Structure 1
Amino acid sequence: MITWIIAAEIAFWIAIALGLVSRYILNLKGLSWFFFILTPFVDLALIVLTAMDLKNGAIATTAHGVAAIYIGVSLAYGKSMIAWADEKFQVLFLKKSSTKKKLSGLAKGKYEMKMWARHVVAYVIGSSLIWLMIFYVGHLKAEALFNLWRIWSIVVLVDGAISVSYIIFPKKSN
């Protein structure tokens, strides 16, 4: 199962890289959109493979839960990951200067809250998939999934507390 997760991650970044090369090097914007649109299909393939693995009698493991987390994170952060890769590609290969500015104060707090909101979206998607798996295999066979979900729940709460701290104690500009 972990092999499928790694393959999905590699396929995700290959699709993005091909999209960026198509857009900026080959000047084929239509082809670049095709590659960017492929990224959710990578997630779909991982969902199908995970479901098939469980249907074929596999014991629900932490890897199955990680697949659900991967899908949630990919769907919640996918657009921002593509934007990040786009900006890095332009800086590294097209020698454009970075337009990203360092945030401080309330702007930094708002950004951190926005990123936490994406984490919550990823958590809702991933948790839904984890709980679907738990119900599918039965709670007695899903201890690894439940334990992973509990840990992720704590991580989301800690991330939220840290994000709120940027609002309460704004970071001063350098």
Structure 2
Amino acid sequence: MIVAIVACEIGFWVLLVAGLAARYLLKARGLSTALLLSVPLVDVALLVFSVIDLRSGGEAALGHALAAVYLGVSVAFGHRMLGWADQRFAHRFAGGPPPVALPAKGTRERVSHERRMWLRHVAAYGIAGLILLLFAALVGDADRTASLWGPYRLWTIVLVIDGLVSFSYTARRSISSAKER
């Protein structure tokens, strides 16, 4: 299962770079579109592989939990990662404008950015949770799926810490604004 996750991660970046190379280096818009539209198919392949593995009697294990995490993160952050890579590729190879930098620390825009990123993190967490529930339902035996939830519990702690850090920007901004008055 871990091999499938690694293969999907590699597939994601290969299709992304190939799509951007076709767009900016080869000027092949049709090929670029086809390659970039196939990037989400990597996620579908991982989901299908996981479901087939579980339905054919495979034991729910850490690999399945990591696949759910990977899929949640990919769905929640995938479009943003595509945009991030597109900006940098266009700038480096096609004379595009420089990539947009993060807003400066302490600004209202940065505070808003941090909250939006945390909400994406919450979305990834929720999507992964739904996928884990799907996996557990496919197996149909709570004892055989108990190992799926260990990484998710750890992720819960990470999500809370990320939320505290994210909202600390809001608190710092509020304190700074109050001092300026």
TM exceeding 0.5: yes
Say how many residue pairs are matched. Answer: 172
CA distances 1:135-162 after superposition (whole Å, capped 9, x unpaired)? 3222111121111121112221221111
Q: Which residue of 2 aligns with 1:75?
A: 75
Q: Which residue of 1 aligns with 2:110?
A: 108
CA distances 1:36-61 after superposition (whole Å, capped 9, x unpaired)? 11111110110010011111211111
Q: Which residue of 2 aligns with 1:151?
A: 154
Per-residue deviation, 1:24: 0.5
Match runs of 1:19-58 below 5 Å = 19-58=19-58
Q: Which residue of 1 aligns with 2:166?
A: 163
Q: What's the RMSD between the two structures over aligned residues? A: 1.8
**1:26 maps to amino acid:** L
CA distances 1:62-109 after superposition (whole Å, capped 9, x unpaired)? 110100111111111111101111122233334655242341221111
Q: Which residue of 1 aligns with 2:179?
A: none
Tell me: CA distance 1:34–1:69, structure 2 relative to 1, closer, same or farther (3 Å). same
Match runs of 1:60-139 below 5 Å = 60-94=60-94, 96=96, 98-103=98-103, 104=105, 105-137=107-139, 138-139=141-142
The TM-score with structure 2 as length reference comes to: 0.88
Q: Which residue of 2 aligns with 1:141?
A: 144
Query: Distance between the aligned counterparts of 1:42 and 1:6, measured in 2?
Result: 11
Unaligned segments of structure 1, at least 5 residues: none
1:169 aligns to what SS in structure 2? Answer: helix
Query: Distance between the aligned counterparts of 1:169 and 1:162, measured in 2?
Result: 11
> Do the aligned partners of 1:20 and 1:89 also contact (CA within 8 Å) in 2?
yes
**2:155 maps to amino acid:** W
Query: Distance between the aligned counterparts of 1:16 and 1:124, measured in 2?
Result: 25
> Do the aligned partners of 2:65 and 2:132 also contact (CA within 8 Å) in 1?
yes
Query: Distance between the aligned counterparts of 2:76 and 2:144, measured in 1?
Result: 28
> Do the aligned partners of 1:134 and 1:146 also contact (CA within 8 Å) in 2?
no
- Bigger Cα Rg: 2
Query: Distance between the aligned counterparts of 1:83 and 1:53, measured in 2?
Result: 33
Query: Distance between the aligned counterparts of 2:73 and 2:145, measured in 1?
Result: 21
Query: Distance between the aligned counterparts of 2:134 and 2:102, measured in 1?
Result: 40
Per-residue deviation, 1:110: 0.5
> Do the aligned partners of 2:88 and 2:99 also contact (CA within 8 Å) in 1?
no
**1:10 maps to amino acid:** I
